[in-house]
Amino acid sequence: MSDLKQAALDRAVGLPCWTAPSNAEHLSGGITNFNIKLTDQGADYVVRIGEDIPLHGVMRFNELAISRAAHTAGLAPAVHYDEPGALVLEFVEARALSEEEVADPARLPAIIDMVRRCHTEIPKHLRGPVLTFWVFHVLRDYCATLDDGGSTHCRALPDLMAKADALEAATGAVRLVLGHNDLLSANILEGQGRLWLIDWEYGGFNAPLFDLGGLATNNGLGEAQELAMLEQYFEQAPNPTLIRKYTALKCASLLRETMWSMVSEIHSDIDFDYSAYTSENLARFDAAFADFKAA
């Protein structure tokens, strides 16, 4: 076990909310924080160990506020305890879905419904300050961070930012909802006859089409599934204007994931192959942007 993982485990076990913690173990997943499962007084919990990450716009006060509201809205596990750098959640008997399972036509409509409830129900329960997640600001900030850090990707940045400007212009005006903004299959759990949505690090007010685009690109939805998703979410067949805006934000979602990984290549201490992740997402972005330009 690495020193960082051991330190996170020790921190989780040593929190003052426990009576007699036992069976502490790292969970898989988590590429910006450590997740530790443990037992106390017959109940299981997940401890998320992670500080603020300003480079990625991750602020733990924001994650805490949205986590609490998401639980009240019936979408996420309850918060048991929090302190700076540590968030304790009740453990739920559920497993993360695979990309193929998210895209399964028998399951996808329920996931789309959960995303819509995220957008509309969580804001009713939010308290205190909450961030806005505007992907084009994120991209510009990532560009400056990469330039400042002497990234190996600096030569590609002018072209990528020109494409980001074109996508922002195509997006136009938006309606704000409370977005999850990181709809990887690993953040969608299934168990006890229901779905759960977890990991609110990047949560914040955003356009609904960003989440829908992220859901599609992160989980390999086909074109017919995307159109059906838009029709289900908006309760009417999508018109060309909506499809154009959706395609722009879908591309922006892929570019954000790509540049997030580029920044992580030079700034993250977590053991993860960010270089390969960058290459994978850049290829997906290039293909999606080519389709956007051809439309």
pLDDT tens across 256-277, in order? 999 999 999 999 887 789 999 9
Burial (0-12, 13-18, 19+ Cβ within 10 Å), 144: exposed
Cβ atoms of 33 and 48 closer than 8 Å:
yes
Residue 58 shares a structural domain with residue 184:
no
Residue 71 shares a structural domain with residue 103:
no
| Structure confidence by residue, pLDDT tens digits, 135-173 | 999 999 999 999 999 999 999 999 999 999 999 999 999
Residue 41 shares a structural domain with residue 164:
no
| Cβ neighbours, 10 Å, residue 262 | 28
Tokens of 92: 């739920």
Residue 109 shares a structural domain with residue 223:
yes
Residue 65 shares a structural domain with residue 109:
no
**Of 86, 43, 94, 95, the residue nearest 64 (C-alpha):** 86
Residue 101 shares a structural domain with residue 77:
no
End residue of a domain, out of 66, 90, 114: 90
Tokens of 62: 């924001």
Residue 106 shares a structural domain with residue 61:
no
In the predicted model, what is the mean pLDDT of residues 16-38? 90
| Structure confidence by residue, pLDDT tens digits, 205-237 | 999 999 999 999 999 999 999 999 999 999 999
Full DSSP string of 121-154: HGGGG--S---B--HHHHHHHHHHHHHHTT-TTG
Residue 1 pLDDT > 70, yes or no? no
Residue 79 shares a structural domain with residue 134:
no
**What CA–CA distance (Å, rounded) separates 229 from 223?**
10
Q: How far is CA 126 from CA 114, 122, 161, 184, 188, in A?
A: 17, 7, 33, 23, 21
End residue of a domain, out of 40, 66, 90: 90
Cβ atoms of 155 and 172 closer than 8 Å:
no
Residue 30 has a pLDDT of 65
Residue 284 shares a structural domain with residue 186:
yes
**How many domains would you assign to the chain?**
2
User: If DSSP codes are grouped into helix, strand and coil, which group holds residue 108?
Assistant: helix
Q: Which residues contact 216 (CB under 8 A, 6 or more apart)?
A: 225, 226, 229, 250
Range of the domain at 139: 95-294
Residue 263 shares a structural domain with residue 236:
yes
Residue 100 shares a structural domain with residue 81:
no
Reading across the β-sheet that carries 43-49, which strands appear in turn?
Answer: 22-26, 34-40, 43-49, 86-90, 79-83
Q: pLDDT category, 4, cuts 50, 70, 90?
A: confident
The CATH number for 268's domain is 3.90.1200.10
Cα dihedral angle (20, 23, 29, 32), rounded to 10 degrees? 30
Cβ atoms of 211 and 197 closer than 8 Å:
no
Whole-prediction pTM? 0.94
**What CA–CA distance (Å, rounded) separates 226 from 262?**
28
The CATH number for 76's domain is 3.30.200.20
Q: How far is CA 7 from CA 14, 23, 36, 50, 224, in A?
A: 10, 16, 11, 11, 47
Residue 102 shares a structural domain with residue 62:
no
End residue of a domain, out of 90, 113, 129: 90
